[in-house]
Amino acid sequence: MKGIVCQGVNRFAPVELPDPSLSDGHAIVRIKRVGICGTDQHAYRGNQPFFTYPRILGHELAGIIEDIGPNDKGLGIGDQVGVMPYLNCGHCIACRNGSPNCCVNIRVLGVHVDGGMRERMTVPIGHLIHTKGLTLDQSAVLEPLSIGAHAVRRAELKLGETVLVIGAGPIGLGVMAFANYQGAKVIAMDIHDQRLAFCKEWAHVDETIHALHDPKSRLEDITDGDYPTVVFDATGNVHSMSQSFQWVAHGGKLVYVGLVKADISFHDPEFHKREMTLLGSRNATEEDFDTVLHALRQGNIDVDRFITHRAPFDKMIDSFEAWLNPEAKVIKAIVEL
């Protein structure tokens, strides 16, 4: 069985792997799509927290069940599935309190344990999402869109609330789409004009701000000096995440969706005078996957335009480096098997 391993920083290699065997509570899935995200890019470049080499990357997955035993989810051979890649322990304090997405002992496919950049793999049945009626492409982007949906749910947005989303990558776009879906007024901030234009066209944001062109004045103009009541930072950039405190309205919330391998500092008087709430948003839950499934089935998310680049499995290594170049203007890249 063919696979691709990230052997170290900036090093991929094709490998032959043993075929998976069926075990209780698991299914064998033939992988058909693998989405590439910032986590994969950071791992490749050596900037991903909680990561060790060698590792098979890939956690945005869609495939077809090849073998499965009796199960209470009603899944069978031939069913098309997406994957919830967050393997939780089920007994820690987070799991007991209904937050398996931040399990104390979490193992994320493609990060802590080997992921889906291979022809076939075993997946716990409880982590499979039946995607009947969706395309394979839609099934593969369930996971990144669910991260955005989770962040929006975490923020408890109200109808008509003004929010700012910093970072117009795939995760930030997902936040924008689901904030819009919740009826918020959405402002997008990024440093690339092309990405800001895509926010308008794809996520239907209300306003855009170029982060390098006097963003403070622009944000004040848009909000009549009030600033957004919720700010989402989806950049994974330490400078942006430190600066994002200044964009939050008094009594507002700052939600860190992006992850950075660094310490973040802030000026405490600014934090306190706003009585600001700082939130982390990690991964997603089955509830968030269900939200995205519904939105996709209703035709509210345009996956065809969200996926901008593709490569067959045997061309992935050659394509990956090119996808890292900002000039490639990648929104979401997909590997096809």
- Domain harbouring 249, CATH code: 3.40.50.720
Residue 286 located in a structural domain: no
Phi, psi dihedrals of residue 5, rounded to the nearest 5°: -115, 135
pLDDT per residue as tens digits for the range 132-168: 999 999 999 999 999 999 999 999 999 999 999 999 9
The pLDDT score that the predictor gives to residue 68 is: 97
Q: Which domain holds residue 122?
A: 2-141+307-336
Residues 6 or more apart in contact with residue 223 via CB below 8 angstroms: 162, 249
Residue 82 located in a structural domain: yes
Q: Based on the fold, state whether residues 175 and 276 are members of the same structural domain.
A: yes
Given a cut of 80, whether residue 259 has pLDDT beyond it is: yes
Residue 206 located in a structural domain: yes
Structure tokens at 264: 């973040």
Q: Based on the fold, state whether residues 183 and 258 are members of the same structural domain.
A: yes
Looking at beta carbons, which pairs linking 185-191 to residues 24 or more positions away fall under 8 Å? 185/160, 185/161, 187/162, 187/163, 187/219, 187/222, 187/228, 188/164, 189/164, 189/165, 189/215, 190/166
The pLDDT score that the predictor gives to residue 42 is: 87
The pLDDT score that the predictor gives to residue 38 is: 86
Residue 112 located in a structural domain: yes
Given a cut of 90, whether residue 115 has pLDDT beyond it is: yes
Q: Based on the fold, state whether residues 12 and 107 are members of the same structural domain.
A: yes
**Alpha-carbon distance values, 158 to 163, 180, 219 (Å):** 10, 11, 20
Residue 107 located in a structural domain: yes
The pLDDT score that the predictor gives to residue 47 is: 82
Strand partners, 107: 87
Residue 39 located in a structural domain: yes
Q: What is the mean pLDDT of residues 2-15?
A: 96
Phi, psi dihedrals of residue 109, rounded to the nearest 5°: -55, 135
The pLDDT score that the predictor gives to residue 250 is: 98
CA angle at 289 for the pair 285 and 294, rounded to the nearest 5°: 145
Q: Based on the fold, state whether residues 151 and 133 are members of the same structural domain.
A: no
pLDDT class for 311, splitting at 50, 70, 90?
very high
Name the one residue in this structure whose structure tokens are 């490569």. Answer: 311
pLDDT per residue as tens digits for the range 39-79: 899 899 888 887 889 999 999 999 999 999 999 999 999 99
The pLDDT score that the predictor gives to residue 261 is: 84
Residue 290 located in a structural domain: no
**CA-based end-to-end distance of the chain:** 12
pLDDT class for 203, splitting at 50, 70, 90?
very high
Q: Based on the fold, state whether residues 19 and 137 are members of the same structural domain.
A: yes
Q: How far apart (Å, rounded) are the C-alpha atoms in residues 301 and 293?
A: 10
Mean of per-residue pLDDT scores for the chain? 96
Q: How far apart (Å, rounded) are the C-alpha atoms in residues 228 and 128?
A: 37
47 against 88, higher pLDDT: 88
Please report, for the domain that includes residue 27, its CATH number: 3.90.180.10
The pLDDT score that the predictor gives to residue 327 is: 87
Given a cut of 80, whether residue 320 has pLDDT beyond it is: yes
Going by C-alpha positions, the residue among 196, 209, 64 that lies closest to residue 135 is 64
Residue 168 located in a structural domain: yes
Q: Angle between the 286-297 and 142-155 helix axes, to the nearest 10 degrees?
A: 110
Q: How far apart (Å, rounded) are the C-alpha atoms in residues 153 and 6?
A: 34
pLDDT per residue as tens digits for the range 179-194: 999 999 999 999 999 9
Q: Is 91 helix (H, G, I), strand (E, B) or coil?
A: coil
**Pairing of β 162-166 and β 120-124:** unpaired
The pLDDT score that the predictor gives to residue 319 is: 96
pLDDT class for 12, splitting at 50, 70, 90?
very high
Q: Based on the fold, state whether residues 22 and 63 are members of the same structural domain.
A: yes
Q: What is the mean pLDDT of residues 314-336?
A: 94
- pTM of the entire predicted model: 0.95
Q: What is the mean pLDDT of residues 306-320?
A: 96
Going by C-alpha positions, the residue among 197, 199, 191, 188 that lies closest to residue 222 is 188
pLDDT class for 233, splitting at 50, 70, 90?
very high
pLDDT class for 218, splitting at 50, 70, 90?
very high
Q: Based on the fold, state whether residues 194 and 248 are members of the same structural domain.
A: yes
Q: How far apart (Å, rounded) are the C-alpha atoms in residues 234 and 38?
A: 11
Q: How far apart (Å, rounded) are the C-alpha atoms in residues 123 and 276?
A: 40
